[in-house]
Structure formats: C-alpha cells, structure tokens
A and B are shown apart, each in its own frame.
Chain A
Amino acid sequence: MNPAYSVILFTVLSGAGYGLLAILGFSAVVGLVMISPAINLTMLVVALVLITAGLVSSTSHLGRPERAWRALSQWRTSWLSREGVFAVITYVPAVLLGIVWITEISPNLRLFTLFNVSSYLWVLGGAGSILSIATVICTGQIYATLRTIPAWYYLLTTPIYLLLSVVSGFVIWMFLMSLFGYKTEPTVILMGVFLLELALILKWVYWRYVDRSDFGVTKADAIGFASLTKVQNLEPAHQTKNYLMREMGYQVARSHSVRLRRFASWTCFIIPGLCLLLMLLAPSYQLIGNMTAVVSLFVGLLTERWLFFAEAKHVVTRYY
C-alpha cells in the first residue's frame, strides 16, 4: 500500500496525543500524580496539540477535506466513521478538564459557578481516558478489518496500534514530568521499559506474520478459473501506471524492509528502553535521557508506520 505521509503523521501524532490524554485522564481518576494544575494543563495542551495536528494532517489525505464532517454519519458500519465520532467526542471531557485546571490556577475566573466541577474530576478523567483509547482502537480496526490486505487483517494489528499509542504517550508524559523537575519513580520507569519491550516483541511477531501471510487467492481465483490453473500476464490492461497500481501496488524491496525493520526496532523500542534504564541508573541524566527517548521513539514510530503501509500487499495486485 502507498505509504501516504498524511496518514503516517496522523496515526503517529494523534496516537501519541491520545496515549498522553489517556494517561493524564487515568492519573486524574486515581488521583495519583495530581502535582499541580499548571503542569496538568500543560500536559493536556500538549496532548490536544498532538491530537489536533494529527487530525488536521489526516484531512489532507482527503480529496474533499471541506466535506470531512460528513464522515461522522456512518458509525453503524464504518470504523473510519466511528474513529471520527470518538475523535470529536474526546474533545469534550478534554476541554472540560482544561477548564477545571484553569479554574484551579486562577479561581477568579469562575468558569463554573453553578456547581463544583472539580469534584467530578475523576469522571472527566475517566471519560477522556476511555474515549482516547476507543479512538485509537477504531483507528486500528479500520486496518484490521480489511480482508483485502492480509498484512493488516490480523489479530495483533489493533493491539499494536493501541500499545504504541499508549507507549508513546507514556514516554512523553515522563518527559514532561522530568521537564518540570519531578523525579520519575523507578517503578514508573520500569513500567515504561516493560511496555516498550512488550511492543517490540509484538511487532516482531507481527513482522514474522507479514512475511508468511498470503492472499489465500491465486491469480487464477482472481479471474474465476480453478485455483491451480497457471495464469501469466500477456497483454497489460494499460501501459502506464494507474491509480490502483500507485495506491495498492506499492512495493518495497525485501533488503530495504529488513534494514528498516532493524532501524525501527532500535529507534522505536531498544534505544528508548535503554534511555529509560539510564534514567534509572543515573537520575542526574533524567532529562537528557528522557528527551533522547522521545526523539528516538518518534523517529522509530514514523519508520514503523511507513513500513506498516509499504509492506502491506493488496489482493488487487493479483490482476497485475
């Protein structure tokens, strides 16, 4: 499949944003690290900027971006529509959380005078968390339900999308904590390392699956003949590449994909994991270690996502 940059950017940026919002919401529910409203607000803004940047990028993939609102209507059957609906609804608790924290910073603003919203913080946090996760699950399901693309029609496609979203949100969350001068708890750091390496394992399982995956239909099946009939191309249907060949017939050389998988494994999972361990061993390097982890993770995620598209083969290529 053609690796469209708008979609790669969307899934990586919004994924990280929703991951961060999910963690922030979760921390609001359990009241774990409610350090200060100012820091919470900053994190929320970072999450919303990531989410919004990704969503804006995704609309540039559309032929008619001005009609994007129509995509909210078919949630009964379409995962893409469901993703859109959840993406929009997620803004509601997120913005309310922001208002609560703004009110806490400057009580004179009195944004909520009728009732004390602060006592509903856990509801808003929980809603933000669940809706963020739901949005990412919908993103994964768009790909995981396409039977025409065996590389995506797979049990692990959605779990990996979700895990990578949470992991990237988690590493950013730790980085912002370090930035504000808070020392990250060793258990939290170890949790990050665990999630990163779990994602690495799942990704390797996924890549092994992709290497073995098959269309399940032959060229003969594609034109209606008995499966084992030998079918060779004789006359092309057209002499130059058409939409189908550009969009669905994208090919990446095997040697390239091996190298890029190795690069993605290091940058996305191993280096960030090592950086987090460095933070554990040498707390004075916490900030620089965490920053390196974030940068490396994003380089890795972009590579991983590029491969996710470029390596996926579409069954329509059987005709070509």
Chain B
Amino acid sequence: MTNLPSHTEKKLGLLIDLDICVGCHGCVTSCKEWNSTDDMLPLSDFDSYGDNPDGVFLNRVHGYEIDDGISSQTVHFPRSCLHCETPECVTVCPTGASYKRQEDGIVLVNPDSCIGCKLCSWACPYGAREYDHKQGIMKKCTLCVDRIYNEELAQEERKPACVLACPTSARLFGDFADPESEVSILSEKRGGMTLMESLDYKPVNRYLPPREKQSEKTENAINTFFASENGYVGRNQTQANNAGLDSFFTWLDDKLSSKNI
C-alpha cells in the first residue's frame, strides 16, 4: 500500500558523523556484501573485471572539498536511503511494491511486485534507489532489516552491515523517535543536519557536521612556533636560512631528491 502511515512507532535510521568519516568505503563494500549474499536477491554486477564495471550499490561515499569562507576542509560523505517520513518514492509507486513500515518507519521494496518502472528513482532527490538491470526491479537500502531483527545473530550484531563495518564508528544506528536514544542525544548535542530540508521529504537519517577546527589564531601561533624552531619558511628558501644540523638534513634531502636513485 503506497498510502503512508500517519505515524510510525519507531523512526529507525542512521546518524553519520562527517567529522570522523575517513572515506574508506568500508560501509559501501560491507553493504554490497551483505545484501548480495543473504536472503535478499543479490545486487547485480556487470563487467566486474572489465573496462566498464557497473553494478547496483545501496550506499556510496562521495568526497567533497568544503569552503565556508574561513577555512576549507575535506568531507567524506556517505549517501544512502534516508528513510524519509514522507517519501515520495513510495507514493508514486503504481504497484504498492514500495512501502513504509508503520512499526519502524523503514522504507522497503517488495521484489515480488516491483515492475521496474523506475518512477520511484525519479521521485527520490537523494539517489537512494537504483535499478537492477538483471532482475528488472528497483533496489534500495533496507536498513538491513534482515539483520536488525535476526534472532540468529548475537545481540551486538543486530545492526546494519555498514554500521558494523565502519572502522571509525562514524555510523550509528538507532531510533530517532526515542529522545533518549544514543542517536537522538548525539544529534541534538552536535546539531545533526538534514539533507535538502526545503524539499520537505522529512528524512530520518541525520549527519553530524565536522567539529569546529582550530581557530585561525591558534593555527597562526603554531606556524610561528615552527618557523622560529626550524627556520622553516618554505622549501625554496631552505638553503639560505637554515643552520647547523637542520641545514645538513636539508642539504641531504635536496641531494637525495634531485638524484634519480
């Protein structure tokens, strides 16, 4: 049924910390691995080892350079389904294959009734849905619904594969409807961000912004300190300014790097 539930008992989702994500793509591969080998239909691949590899992924990590006018920094940005509260990917579905669960808010596709019209992927602003050419149906993040309630797994393993795989614990899984949950508290404390809020899809997943970096003042102080300690003012002028042991190493470094050894 493509009518959205007026209320979901839980709002399960992910809290992704952009401050500590290192862009290792571990979540991407573990997602692909879990969703290709368990009960679910595999995420198809084409030409895997050829010149033009292609395949279905439910999670991707983009790398951006962010400049807010004061400083610039690298941000690794994992992108997957945000399990929106008002997902238009569900309401546009002509078959009822797409649905949002009342009990936990997870947005799913029923692979047995999807006709592969791709309209849901057109309706999603976040690129969360991909078409599987081999099976002729749409695929999307299930929040590892086959893990999180799986009683055959140990309690600590009942989390989405991407969350378990993250080596820096940049991904947290929890219930955003519960104000006492870890994700709610952290999101509240660190200003969890919503993507494209103005479109009003009401995404459940939140992103924690990078923590404020050292101020310009501190950075300047550090630069001055190192400049006075090492006489370091830039590679081109090193020979003229250095003295003692430092200049010996600089000389050695220059000699070694100018020769092709």
Q: Which residue of B lies closest to A232 (CB)?
A: B65
Q: Which residues of B sit under 8 angstroms from A226, Cβ to Cβ?
A: 68
Query: A248 and B64: CB pair below 8 A?
Result: no
Q: Report chain A residues within 8 Å CB of B136.
A: 62-64
The answer to whether B61 and A237 touch across the interface, beta carbons within 8 angstroms, is yes
| A108 located at the interface, meaning its Cβ lies under 8 Å from any Cβ of chain B in the complex | no
Per the 8 Å Cβ criterion, residues 88-136 of B in contact with A are 88, 90-97, 113-119, 121-127, 130-133, 135-136
Q: Are A235 and B127 in contact (CB under 8 A)?
A: no
Asked if A316 lies at the interface with its beta carbon under 8 angstroms from chain B, I say yes
CA distance A64 to B96 in the complex (A): 15
- Chain A residues positioned under 8 Å from B93 (CB to CB): 74, 78
Interface membership of A147, Cβ < 8 A: yes
- Is B154 on the interface with A (CB-CB < 8 A)? no
Chain B stretch 45-67: residues in CB contact (< 8 A) with chain A: 52-57, 60-67
Cβ of A77 under 8 Å from chain B:
yes
B194 within 8 A of partner (CB): yes
Q: Judging by beta carbons under 8 Å apart, are B117 and A315 in contact?
A: no
Contact indicator B88/A238 (Cβ below 8 Å): no
Which residues 230-258 of A sit at the B interface, judged by CB distance below 8 A? 230-238, 240-244, 247-248
Residue from B54, B67, B94 whose CB has the most chain A CB atoms within 10 Å: B94
| B193 within 8 A of partner (CB) | yes
**Which residues of chain A have C-beta atoms less than 8 A from B123's C-beta?**
146, 148
A49 to B158 CA separation, bound complex (whole angstroms): 55
Say whether A80 faces chain B, with CB atoms less than 8 Å apart: yes
Contact A62 to B115, CB < 8 A, known contacts A148-B122, A224-B209, A244-B127: yes
Q: Give the contacting residue for B66; candidates A145, A217, A225; CB below 8 A.
A: A225
Chain A 53-90: CB-based contact to B (< 8 A → 1; otherwise 0): 00000000111110110111110111111001000000
**Residue of B1, B79, B114, B196 with highest tally of chain A CB at under 10 A:** B196
Which residues of A are found within 8 Å of B232, using beta-carbon distances? none
Give the A interface residue count (CB, 8 A): 57
By the criterion CB–CB under 8 Å, are B195 and A64 in contact? no
Contacting residues, chain B, for A234 (C-beta < 8 A)? 63-65, 74
Contact in complex: B96, A70 (CB < 8 Å): yes
Chain B residues contacting A63 (CB-CB under 8 Å) are 114-118, 131-133, 135-138
Residues of B within 8 A of A214 (CB): none
Q: Does A316 lie within 8 Å of B124, measured CB to CB?
A: yes
Q: In the complex, what residue of chain B is closest to A315 when comparing beta carbons?
A: B125
Check: B230 CB closer than 8 A to any chain A CB.
no
Note all chain A residues with C-beta closer than 8 A to B63.
233-237
Contact between B66 and A229 (Cβ–Cβ < 8 Å)? yes
Minimal beta-carbon separation of B75 from chain A (angstroms): 7
Tell me if B23 counts as interface (CB < 8 A to partner A): yes
Tell me the smallest distance from the CB of A75 to a CB of chain B, in Å: 8
Known A-B contacts A64-B136, A67-B95, A247-B121; A233 and B64 likewise in contact (beta carbons under 8 Å): yes
Q: A30 vs B2: C-alpha distance in the bound complex, in angstroms?
A: 40
Q: Hey, which chain B residues are within 8 Å of A216, CB to CB?
A: 198
Check: B34 CB closer than 8 A to any chain A CB. no
Some 22 contacts from A to B, beta carbons below 8 A apart, are: A1-B122, A67-B114, A70-B96, A71-B94, A71-B117, A73-B94, A74-B93, A78-B91, A80-B94, A80-B119, A142-B119, A146-B88, A147-B199, A217-B199, A220-B66, A223-B64, A226-B68, A230-B66, A234-B64, A236-B62, A240-B54, A248-B127
B residues near A, CB below 8 A?
1-3, 18, 23, 52-57, 60-69, 72, 74-77, 79, 88, 90-97, 113-119, 121-127, 130-133, 135-138, 193-199, 207, 209
